[in-house]
Chain A
Amino acid sequence: MRISDYIEQSFSNLRKKKLRTFLTTSGVMIGIGALVSMLSFGRGVQKNITDRFKELDLFNYITVFPRSEQSQAKQSSANNEAEEDETQQVRVLDDDFIQEVTKIKGVESAFPEVRFPALVRFKGKQKFTLIQVLSADIGRSGLVKFRAGRPYAPDDANSLIISDILLRRMKVKDPQTAIGEKIEVSTLMLDSDLLSPANITSVIQGDKLPFSQEGYTFTIVGVAERMGFGGAMPLRSDVYIAPAASKKMKKVSLTSIQDFFQSSQQAKGYSAVNIKVSSVRYIEPVKARIEDLGLKTFAVIDELEEIKTVFIFMDMFLFALGMIAITVASLAIINTMVMSILERYKEIGIMKAVGASDRDVKKIFFFESGVIGFLGGVFGLALGWVVSMLINQVANYFLAKQAVPYIDYFSFPWWLCLGAVIFPILISLVAGIYPASRAARVDPVVALRHD
């Protein structure tokens, strides 16, 4: 018997029992539909995150931090020899370090992350924020997404870029209106008078901060889109200024409150250095080189691995749900096929009498089972797609009200579509094993005896 004949036979036999075929196929369809929409949701969310990271080139960044004191302490206690302790110097994140790092194979550029607290005043509103020093190159690299305006020039000491979020917090709705406007920035400086033993108690009690202020005026040249993902990334501030601007300002430099208290030990150097590598494959070797220097590193790609494990768990959960549906569906297939065999008992006898082998009979029922799976898969994929589209539209409709841009929460990669059709075929073939071999065992003499 030819393959095309098996397929044609299957379809024509299934057509004869329309209702039963429809009901059985529906079981598979619903199972696959659920599985498809759930998996495509998982994929969609994951794709959104990774695409956005990729778009921002974030996978190519390593952030380097000075080694924390705890880890130094650990290492010195592990090393009993005092000499070694002395030779192992703490590497300072200074310009020399940047020079050195730039020479490592695969490193494209390295730039210090200088951040300091400041008070910005704009159109009568006042906000406390961190200002980040960002070279003009980075500003122009595409890493910064502009909602309005443009990046500043390398030697521009009087311009800044502000984030849309901060603007909104200062009640400016349209980013365009802020371009060219003046903005006041007040830096904070450690006031050594206030840190004297006489005043320290009031500082600790929070009555008075050990800071004095210094004001500067800037022009807003650009409004940048604030990245929605937290963590140590090259850009994580609401205000960016050029290094030239930074030089003229008096300030304390810190990225966290710990930095502030550690500042006596690590007075020299930057609080962090960002390194851009030319390709993701350099991340690990470059990280290893830097960690050998006794420094801490962070790469977004590591965080992605963590995100991925979360998604693997989510996928597994969804998969388990879908599998329950599929198991129920395959029991329905077994039931349908066994019923079909009982009904077509005599027909099986006829097949054998006119020359069908056991294998022919087995294959006929096997194909029939497979066709149920195929139909269930195709319609299930369609169902899953329709449901996903509906949910996507509804979700975006409500999220649009909260100014969230349109996102496809569902993704249909080719393997999902292919799998949605192939998987139920395999499942129903497995479900068809018992009925098919039972059909093959039918004794034609018994089946054809006229009673």
Chain B
Amino acid sequence: MNSTSFIETEDLTKGYSSGQIEVVALKDVNLSVREGKFLGVTGPSGSGKSTLMNLLGGLDTPTSGRIKVQGKFISELNKEELALYRRYQVGMIFQSFNIISSYSALENVAFPLLFAGVGKKERKQRASQMLTKVGLCPRKDHRPPELSAGEQQRVAIARALINQPKILLADEPTGNLDSTTSRQIVQMLSDLNKNQGLTVIMISHEESLVRRFAHEIIHLCDGKIVEQEKIR
């Protein structure tokens, strides 16, 4: 394995068995991302992009193969350690935002701090600061239904970054956004990558958008990397 890699996979394979049918969502994926890079992932629907993302994010465990992040094999962690990995090492955002609609923007952003055992006062303070960073401070007491789609995704980004992870995983973050808002969101991810050295992996089927911001792009098809290109 490459020692300069920040995130690395080795013959990563994930199969789902629903009933008697065995679906191989990801097959022998070997991937290497260096620290501070912005990686774009594209591919048709059902090609295994989300599966890869969930494995890298520690939400799922591989059928075979290994994942190494910051020198540690996260594919060998137990459930408890994996929770800690998700809590402190990675932040994830999704196409459907996955923020809690009954919580205010502030409460959503502060939510991960609850599991980190941070006190109530500090939770509020830190969440408030994070909302300022994504430009949503005036709207901190609004609930998701009162926010636009772009604002909701920014709440999700603030939440993903609240525990200061080194990696941000974004699974089609612009899938539910119009083109202008999409560009703003990806711009924000790119800025975080540039200014704070955040390693970003972003899935998107909008190739033009990915091309504009990513350092590297991989193309997935039927669970395999079919093309890998360096852009800048």
Contact = CB atoms under 8 A, between A and B. Distances in A.
Contacts of B117: 1-2
B116 interface: yes
Given A2-B117, A349-B98, A450-B95, A358 B57 contact: no
A354 B87 contact: yes
Interface of B: 50, 54, 57, 59-60, 79-80, 83-84, 86-88, 92, 94-96, 98-100, 102, 111-112, 114-117, 119-120, 159, 163
12 contacts: A1-B114, A2-B119, A350-B100, A350-B111, A351-B115, A352-B83, A354-B159, A357-B79, A357-B80, A358-B83, A444-B59, A448-B94
A359 B115 contact: no
B59 A352 contact: yes
- Please give me the 10 A-B residue pairs with the lowest Cβ-Cβ distance, nearest first: A355-B87, A357-B83, A354-B112, A450-B96, A355-B86, A356-B115, A444-B59, A355-B115, A445-B60, A445-B54
Given A5-B114, A346-B98, A355 B83 contact: yes
A358 B79 CA distance: 8
A357 B117 CA distance: 12
Given A349-B98, A355-B88, A357-B79, 6 more contacts: A1-B115, A2-B117, A354-B112, A355-B84, A357-B84, A448-B59
Given A2-B117, A350-B98, A360-B83, A355 B59 contact: no
Interface residues of A, number: 26
Name the residue among A351, A353, A358 with the largest chain B CB count within 10 angstroms.
A353
Interface of A: 1-2, 4-5, 8-9, 16, 346-347, 349-360, 444-445, 448-450
Contacts of A8: 120
A53 B57 CA distance: 73
Contacts of A448: 59, 94, 98
A60 B114 CA distance: 62
Contacts of A347: 100
A445 B59 contact: yes
Contacts of B96: 450
A437 to B, nearest CB: 13
Contact of A353 (B84, B86, B95): B86
B83 A356 contact: yes
Nearest to A6: B114
Contacts of A449: 50
Contacts of B87: 354-356
Contacts of B54: 445
A85 to B, nearest CB: 83
B175 to A, nearest CB: 8
A8 B96 CA distance: 28
A7 B6 CA distance: 39
B92 A353 contact: yes
B24 to A, nearest CB: 16
Given A347-B100, A359-B80, A354 B59 contact: no
Nearest to A16: B102
Name the residue among B60, B95, B99 with the largest chain A CB count within 10 angstroms.
B60
Given A5-B114, A360-B115, A445-B59, A355 B163 contact: yes
B94 A450 contact: yes
Contacts of A358: 79-80, 83
A43 B119 CA distance: 45
Nearest to B176: A450
Contacts of B92: 353
A5 B102 CA distance: 17
Nearest to B89: A355
B57 A353 contact: yes
B86 to A, nearest CB: 5
Contacts of B95: 450
A170 to B, nearest CB: 77
Contacts of A9: 114
Contact of A354 (B84, B86, B102, B120): B86
Nearest to A2: B117
B67 to A, nearest CB: 15
A19 to B, nearest CB: 16
Given A2-B117, A349-B98, A354 B111 contact: yes
Contacts of B102: 16
Nearest to B53: A445
A346 B144 CA distance: 15
Name the residue among A2, A5, A9, A350 with the largest chain B CB count within 10 angstroms.
A350
A357 B59 CA distance: 11
A355 B84 CA distance: 6
Contacts of B57: 353
Contacts of B80: 357-359
A354 B88 CA distance: 9
Contacts of B59: 352-353, 444-445, 448
A353 B98 contact: yes
Contacts of A2: 117, 119
Contacts of A352: 59, 83, 86
